Structure 1
Amino acid sequence: MSKSLTVLRAGTSGFRGTKDEVTPDHAFAAAVLYGEMLGAGKRVTVGHDNRETAAKLASAACDGFRSEGLHVDHLGMVSTGVFSTRTACLRPNHYAGGILITGSHMPPDRIGIIPIDDTAAYCTHNVTNRIEVGFSAFQSGVWGNARYELSGSLYRVDNATSLGVYLATLWDTLRDPELREERFKVLLDAGNGTTGDPARILLEGLGCDVVVLNEEPQFIPDRPSEVTPENCDVAVDRMREGDYDLGACFDGDGDRVLFIAPDGSTYEDDIIAAIFAYYELEPVRGTDPVVVTPVTAGSLVSEVCKRFGGRVEYCRVGQPDTGRAIKACGAHVVFAYEAAARKFCFPAQFTFYDGVYAVARMLAIMARTGKSLQQLAADVAADFGTFFPAEGSIMLEDARKADVVAKAYAAAGNAFREAEVIDIDGLRFNFTDSSWVLLRPSGTEPKVRYYAKARTSARALALAKQARKLFENAMRSA
């Protein structure tokens, strides 16, 4: 007797789990449910990364869309940038949306089903929550069930075609003559994911001399996919030993990037974001420019915005909410990033994240200014100061979260009454000395979290300690 399909819970990036938890039946059902929302006759894309089960999940998603009468362009194994460019930029309104199968930065035994909209932004919870509820209506073994007629068409797009669209689209936005004249030497680490070819060919087309580590896609990468200085130590060492102008390491599908300076230095997201924001905001000073970022972002970008008469638009943590904020702010948005995720977006060109494009934009800044990454980072510190982080978390079962968080928020309102309050995805308090503290429940783990940043380490640690005490007191009384 067939049993109901296990319900996958919607997270900030679609539906994720181990390769045993996320099955072809789930991919098929997700595409059926999303296809119902989009409507028969629409054209959609499906693509996947190089994880072990990704190709099979993508095939199931294709069949799910086709069973609802949608026409599918199957892009095969592609990076997030290649997939997103084809989906959003081929022709206006050519695609209604799609599904990307990717494990991104997660360990190799994990995979995700990510519905995306017509701009290649991750779908919001309005879509994913409806899919989550709909899973229970399907039975295990649904993929291949004869009662689902595949009435929609399937077109397999060869990789060279999608890559060609990607390269032409990006090159068209990178017209700085100085960039091609510099002939930068760049070290890339593709992490055995899907960015090796796209990154190398794009940068070589911009006149760069490119060396790629871990270029060949593998089920099990030679280093962890998450781009941290510790995971990317081989590339860091190569930068110190070699004669390179810039280094960059990508996660499995290429939407995240770690920048490395010639001396092996790496920088936290807020510093890289401040560099990008400075050179995006400077030309549009006085036009109410906006930078979009989640509430976990530091104060550095806010200080840059003040310099050029701009502002920060804070949003909830997660790519769907960042995308929604970008759309809401419209043409005023000149830059967006996700703090701690190493994701950078340039909405005047594209509303999706692509680490490869971010590398090209950084090289363009270096060419235009004649400065290295170290010099650009030093300029930011000299102009706007240095901010020190402090953060932590406390284990707390989900059943108690609502009561504990409510009590902690009430106490925090009294403790930090002199601060500006931002109540998006937690409670953030901004102080007049540019320090801030954020209290929020984790959306993915049985934890509550707190974050603080300040111009001195002592101030950041004091704010974090105070936030932790607020949670601990609330846990004792709830």
Structure 2
Amino acid sequence: MAERNQLRDLFDRFVVNGDHRKSDYLGLIRELIKKGYGGQDLRQQGIDKAYQMLYSEIIENSGTPEKPVSFGTSGWRGVLGKEIFVKSVTQVTRAIVSMYRGLEGGSELCRILEVKDLKDAQKRGCVLGFDNRFGGEILAIQAAKVLVQAGFKVHYAGESTTGVLSASLIRRNCAFSINLTPSHNPMEYGGYKFNGGDGGPAPGEVTSIITENAQAIVEREALDAPPELWSLSDLEVHPSVEFFDSLQCWMELVKQGEPEHGLNLQKTLAEVSKAGRMAIAVDCIHGASRVHMDRFFQGCDKSRLVLLRNTRDTTFGGVSPEPSGENLKGVAATLEQRKEPLKLGAIIDPDGDRIRFYDGHSEIDMNRFGAIAYHFLHEKKGKRGMAGKTVATSNLVNSIAMGFGESVFEPPVGFKYFKPVIGKALVIFEESDGISIIGHTPEKDAYIGLLLAIEIMVSTGMSLGEYLGKIEARFGGYYPHRDGVKVEIQGRQLEQTLSKLDQYRPGKKVRVGEQSLAIAEVIDVDGYKMILADGSWLMIRPSGTEPKVRFYVESRSADGAAELVETAKNMLREIGILK
């Protein structure tokens, strides 16, 4: 009885009866996960009830998002029920429809979107999917309703991953894709990703139009009631909706791209089974990859495979569902029990566009894996071409490319900036665990990273760490690190505050540990990247997806990264970001 009273008191703290706007259902769910009121059964009853209330808010919210609709580095993200709800998602979808309706044949926007005109876009249609987030399906169904009523064909994938949806767009020659996902954000968030006709993230010219259209629609319809709901059965009988197998499209694209990248999923997995020397552990963190992993590894000896957190859980067990050292602990513990000489662990974020590895001894993040992948494709597969990596990513691949007589394309943070080198760069990657390769989709794809990691180990007989060691023996060690701080100020005010970093120009000396090092070069294509005289560097930039300022560092010595982090924090203190 006392436990039920405690649970009732908790609901009273977070729920205002009859008022969704003043209620905090997700805060209630997080508190229930954290404290575990009344044991597992009673706690789950409370979570289920809170989610029922959140569902009502998502479908009934007739207001406007608490924060204006805005597409950042990778789509629009917001709190479920407060910013992401049926009405707001349908409004953003209508903003996309409005953009296509405004097309003039042969215009620059047509070229960017890779469509001829409105009729071409309607005929080719949209690939539509969602990740494991709560409410994903009902939001996707309403987006589909808007599209078919506007004359667009909908290729309905259901729950899937960002990379797989992008591959599906390419294989089915669709005009664009929509994925209802906030990527690796915490459980409170929903999101909306839009990709154009090339399958890659939309550039700023496109997302600015969508944002402007959406904000105008939201303002104009501020007092309108929520739209009438469609159900899945409405889509199943609609002549403009086609349900399809998105993972099959991904597999077909990998096979199609084999002449360019040299990877073959079936052959590689057959070698894993044949050799019997490798153990693989994949952590899905309850995300969309869990619906694909059994088929991804079809044909592989299942005794070599362990899948972790491969059940649906919209709370992610209370953790932040991102590839991280903390979240890799389960993979590490699993592989410690295995006797195979080669071990590969991987953790994939909820929408399957980020992946991080573990080789049985150490964590391999994308700073290192991207360089390993480039070296492997260039030297072991005999492919020739440049590398692409974002400005915040390790310079290890720069050193490798220089040694091979190849160039490096180094754009701002965000996969959308790789468009100029798609089909030219052997590998494109960013430090936040996103990767793709030549002959594949221009979108981040954890699955192609996973296939590549397995192929590297099968082909060389080495762990990822051993392969990295051979690279570092020739090109030297690079020790990257990143961190971030939450900030109260945003937008123009944050930009003005960060502009005070202009004082750090080439020639100025900064304190790094006990040393005073001169700034050799400043790269300002995305924030401020200061390369120091010893080849180490630090970079400060505002996040494109969260209210944070991020900083990235790289030292040439194992113990130097912590000193660079402190230098970056001191700079933020000097300009008033940190106290």
Q: Does 1:408 align with 2:501?
A: yes
Q: Deviations over 1:409-428 (max 9, x none)?
A: 13334516762332211122
Name the residue aligned to 1:122.
201
Q: CA 1:320/1:392 → structure 2, altered by over 3 Å: closer, same or farther?
A: same
The alignment partner of 1:315 has SS state of coil
Name the residue aligned to 1:214.
309
Q: With CA pairs under 8 Å and 6+ residues apart, which has the higher RCO, 1 or 2?
A: 1
The alignment partner of 1:419 has SS state of strand
Q: Deviations over 1:108-156 (max 9, x none)?
A: 221101111123212122222222222232424353399xxx9x95324
Q: Deviations over 1:277-317 (max 9, x none)?
A: 11123369895x22222211111111111121122211121
User: Which residue identity lines up with residue 504 of structure 2 in the other structure?
Assistant: A
Q: Does 1:37 align with 2:119?
A: no
Q: Deviations over 1:243-301 (max 9, x none)?
A: 353121211122211212134x21232111111111123369895x2222221111111
Whether the 8 Å CA contact 1:117–1:123 is kept in 2: the answer is: yes
Q: CA 1:261/1:402 → structure 2, altered by over 3 Å: closer, same or farther?
A: closer
Q: CA 1:440/1:77 → structure 2, altered by over 3 Å: closer, same or farther?
A: closer
User: Which residue identity lines up with residue 154 of structure 1 in the other structure?
Assistant: S
Q: CA 1:145/1:228 → structure 2, altered by over 3 Å: closer, same or farther?
A: closer
State the shift of 1:331 in Å: 3.0
| TM-score, normalisation: structure 2 | 0.72
Gaps in structure 2 of 5+ consecutive residues: 1-61, 101-117, 510-517
Distance 1:449 1:248 in 2: 25
Whether the 8 Å CA contact 1:54–1:101 is kept in 2: the answer is: yes
Whether the 8 Å CA contact 1:36–1:68 is kept in 2: the answer is: no
Distance 1:29 1:203 in 2: 39
Distance 2:160 2:371 in 1: 30
Q: CA 1:207/1:347 → structure 2, altered by over 3 Å: closer, same or farther?
A: farther
State the shift of 1:53 in Å: 0.8
Q: Does 1:256 align with 2:338?
A: no
Q: Deviations over 1:215-263 (max 9, x none)?
A: 2223233473212121232221011112353121211122211212134
The alignment partner of 1:10 has SS state of coil
Name the residue aligned to 2:462.
371
Whether the 8 Å CA contact 1:257–1:343 is kept in 2: the answer is: yes
Name the residue aligned to 1:167.
251
User: Which residue identity lines up with residue 402 of structure 1 in the other structure?
Assistant: E
State the shift of 1:186 in Å: 1.8
Structure exhibiting the larger radius of gyration computed from Cα positions: 2
Equivalent residue for 1:28, pick from 90, 104, 120: 90
Name the residue aligned to 1:16.
77
Equivalent residue for 1:99, pick from 178, 181, 198: 178
Equivalent residue for 2:394, pick from 258, 274, 298: 298
Whether the 8 Å CA contact 1:286–1:310 is kept in 2: the answer is: no
Whether the 8 Å CA contact 1:96–1:117 is kept in 2: the answer is: yes
Q: CA 1:227/1:415 → structure 2, altered by over 3 Å: closer, same or farther?
A: same
| TM-score, normalisation: structure 1 | 0.86
Whether the 8 Å CA contact 1:300–1:387 is kept in 2: the answer is: yes
The alignment partner of 1:204 has SS state of coil
Q: CA 1:430/1:187 → structure 2, altered by over 3 Å: closer, same or farther?
A: same
Distance 1:197 1:472 in 2: 45
Name the residue aligned to 1:350.
441
Q: Percent identity?
A: 24
Matches for 1:315-334 after TM superposition, within 5 Å: 315-321=411-417, 325=418, 327-334=419-426
Distance 1:185 1:393 in 2: 34
Equivalent residue for 1:157, pick from 243, 251, 271: 243
Name the residue aligned to 1:226.
322
Distance 1:286 1:362 in 2: 17
User: Which residue identity lines up with residue 106 of structure 1 in the other structure?
Assistant: N
Distance 1:141 1:450 in 2: 43
Whether the 8 Å CA contact 2:505–2:522 is kept in 1: the answer is: no
User: Which residue identity lines up with residue 256 of structure 1 in the other structure?
Assistant: R
Q: Does 1:241 align with 2:334?
A: no
Q: What do you get for the CA RMSD once the two structures are aligned?
A: 3.0
State the shift of 1:187 in Å: 1.7
Distance 2:403 2:452 in 1: 21
User: Which residue identity lines up with residue 455 of structure 1 in the other structure?
Assistant: R
The alignment partner of 2:504 has SS state of helix
Name the residue aligned to 1:280.
377
Distance 2:500 2:212 in 1: 31
User: Which residue identity lines up with residue 373 of structure 2 in the other structure?
Assistant: F
Q: CA 1:250/1:465 → structure 2, altered by over 3 Å: closer, same or farther?
A: closer
| Worse-superposed segment, 270-279 or 191-200 | 191-200
Distance 2:390 2:402 in 1: 18
The alignment partner of 1:13 has SS state of coil
Q: CA 1:56/1:316 → structure 2, altered by over 3 Å: closer, same or farther?
A: same
Name the residue aligned to 1:181.
271
Name the residue aligned to 1:336.
428
Q: Does 1:437 align with 2:538?
A: yes
State the shift of 1:105 in Å: 1.6
Whether the 8 Å CA contact 1:120–1:352 is kept in 2: the answer is: yes
Distance 2:401 2:539 in 1: 20
User: Which residue identity lines up with residue 132 of structure 1 in the other structure?
Assistant: T
State the shift of 1:471 in Å: 4.2
Q: CA 1:98/1:435 → structure 2, altered by over 3 Å: closer, same or farther?
A: same
Distance 2:211 2:169 in 1: 24
The alignment partner of 1:429 has SS state of strand
Q: Does 1:312 align with 2:408?
A: yes
The alignment partner of 1:380 has SS state of helix
Name the residue aligned to 1:452.
553
Whether the 8 Å CA contact 1:192–1:252 is kept in 2: the answer is: yes
